[in-house]
């Protein structure tokens, strides 16, 4: 099975490794990276959506609104299932949390 994965973290960061790429590897799933970080800027492609069996959006990738919407539009047009992977209730952080405004947006 092939997974098209979109993450706001660099691929070697603990979040994608522990939450998805590590477990996928050990379970024989192929991860197609839908985005990467080149010189600190988002590099983005819809090609993995076309090749994948399932599309996975990790944590706060939706903050890249235009790219996120393109992924959803492409997945829907191709009839692909989309999974939103989130392990924290980021949309309900308390007012005093330093990232509360960021995630509410």
> pLDDT tens, 74-100?
999 999 999 998 767 777 778 888 777
| Residue entry with tokens 């477990």 | 23
Q: Which residue has the tokens 């998805």?
A: 20
- Helix or strand (DSSP H, E) at 69: helix 65-78
Please report the pLDDT score of residue 105 as a whole number.
Answer: 65
- Residue 30 β-bridge partners: 2
Alpha helix stretches (DSSP H) within the chain: 14-16, 22-26, 47-51, 65-78, 100-104
Task: Give the pLDDT confidence of 30-74 residue by residue, as tens digits.
Answer: 999 999 887 778 889 999 999 999 999 998 888 889 999 999 999
Q: Tokens 């903050």, residue?
A: 63
Q: What is the pLDDT of residue 29?
A: 97
CB 15 within 8 A of CB 68: no
Instruction: Tell me how far apart the alpha carbons of residues 3 and 32 are, in angstroms, rounded to a whole number.
Output: 6
Name the residue among 38, 44, 103, 100 with its Cα closest to residue 71: 44
């Amino acid at each position: 099975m092939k997974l098209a994965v979109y993450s706001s973290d660099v691929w070697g960061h603990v979040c994608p490794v522990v939450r998805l790429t590590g477990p996928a590897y050990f379970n024989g799933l192929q991860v197609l990276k839908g985005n990467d970080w080149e010189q600190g800027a988002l590099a983005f492609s819809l090609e993995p959506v076309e090749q994948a069996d399932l599309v996975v959006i990790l944590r706060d990738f939706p903050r890249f609104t235009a790219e996120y919407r393109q992924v959803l539009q492409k997945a829907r047009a191709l009839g692909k299932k989309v999974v939103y992977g989130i392990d924290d209730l980021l949309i309900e952080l308390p007012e005093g949390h330093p990232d509360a405004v960021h995630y509410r947006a």
